[in-house]
């Protein structure tokens, strides 16, 4: 209904009629239009989170795991084997409805903030060059804005070029030799060991003369 008539055209009477329930039954669960919109946003955001994390779990461990998951899931132009449409196509209307509701009432944005807060943690743990995972997220968001608002046409060739550019950005060959430390690790002070190892060159080996001097002492002890 939001996709067809926008948020202003969404009424509890119309929702109850389309859902095949009484208005009283609808009001029992959603006493206001705002409560209905809030529940819709929370449900859609939970679906997005679940899809992203499932794709994340399917990626091999290592640098760029979260970035690889976003590219694979959000910038797909061909449906998976056996499916009629890819995830991106199926989610366009979902995302359009959520953003339409948030524009109508900015107070409903909190579930999206929570989602991106968790994404920020995964970005920090992605172990790429600083800023590279942020670039991936920004590009994905920008492409989705094109789709949702119909700002700029996106075809398969364009998606292929974007995926190739992002893959080059996050490829393992360009990573630093040592893993990037997290913020918490950087804050921890370095501790110096109080024990100092003695260099091998400073250890004196017993000479033949010292060994011969030690023999009379052993005899005297007997």
Closest CA to 101 of 160, 40, 150: 40
Q: What is the pLDDT of residues 110-131, one digit of tens each?
A: 999 999 999 999 999 999 999 9
Rounded to an integer, what distance in angstroms lies between the CA atom of residue 74 and that of residue 12? 33
Q: With respect to residue 205, please indicate whether it lies within any of the assigned structural domains.
A: no
Helix or strand (DSSP H, E) at 160: helix 156-169
Q: With respect to residue 204, please indicate whether it lies within any of the assigned structural domains.
A: no
CATH of the domain at 142: 1.10.357
Average pLDDT over residues 191-211: 47
Rounded to an integer, what distance in angstroms lies between the CA atom of residue 58 and that of residue 184? 27
Q: With respect to residue 44, please indicate whether it lies within any of the assigned structural domains.
A: yes
Residue 178 has pLDDT above 90, yes or no: no
Number of domains in the chain: 1
Cα-atom radius of gyration of the chain, to the nearest Å? 31
Q: With respect to residue 151, please indicate whether it lies within any of the assigned structural domains.
A: yes
Give the Cβ contact number of residue 181 at 10 Å.
11
pLDDT at 1: 59
222 contacts: CB under 8 Å, gap ≥ 6? none
Q: With respect to residue 213, please indicate whether it lies within any of the assigned structural domains.
A: no
Are the C-beta atoms of 121 and 133 separated by less than 8 Å? no
Q: With respect to residue 1, please indicate whether it lies within any of the assigned structural domains.
A: no
Domain holding 40, by residue range, is 32-187
Average pLDDT over residues 25-50: 84
156 contacts: CB under 8 Å, gap ≥ 6? 77, 78
Cα end-to-end span (Å), the chain:
107
pLDDT at 100: 81
Look at the pTM and tell me if it is higher than 0.75: no
Rounded to an integer, what distance in angstroms lies between the CA atom of residue 142 and that of residue 2? 23
Share of the chain above pLDDT 70, in %: 61
Q: With respect to residue 220, please indicate whether it lies within any of the assigned structural domains.
A: no
pLDDT at 28: 65
Confidence of residue 87 (pLDDT cuts 50, 70, 90): low
Q: With respect to residue 24, please indicate whether it lies within any of the assigned structural domains.
A: no
Are the C-beta atoms of 52 and 69 separated by less than 8 Å? yes
Average pLDDT over residues 63-67: 94
pLDDT at 222: 43
């Amino acid at each position: 209904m939001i996709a067809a008539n926008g948020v202003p055209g969404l009424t509890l009477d119309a929702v109850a009629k389309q859902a095949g329930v009484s208005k009283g039954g609808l009001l029992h669960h959603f006493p206001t239009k705002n409560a209905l919109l809030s529940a819709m946003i929370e449900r859609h955001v939970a679906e997005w989170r679940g899809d992203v994390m499932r794709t994340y779990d399917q990626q091999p461990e290592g640098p760029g795991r979260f970035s690889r998951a976003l590219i694979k899931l959000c910038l797909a132009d061909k449906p998976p084997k056996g499916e009629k449409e890819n995830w991106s196509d199926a989610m366009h209307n979902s995302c359009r409805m959520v953003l339409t509701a948030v524009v109508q009432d900015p107070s409903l944005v909190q579930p999206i903030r929570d989602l991106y807060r968790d994404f920020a943690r995964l970005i920090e743990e992605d172990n790429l060059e600083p800023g590279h995972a942020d670039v991936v997220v920004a590009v994905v968001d920008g492409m989705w804005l094109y789709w949702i608002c119909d700002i700029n046409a996106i075809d398969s060739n364009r998606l292929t070029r974007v995926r190739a550019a992002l893959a080059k950005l996050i490829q393992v060959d360009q990573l630093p030799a040592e893993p990037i430390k997290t913020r918490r690790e950087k804050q921890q002070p370095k501790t110096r060991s109080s024990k100092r190892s003695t260099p091998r060159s400073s250890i004196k080996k017993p000479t033949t003369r010292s060994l011969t001097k030690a023999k009379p002492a052993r005899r005297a002890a007997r």
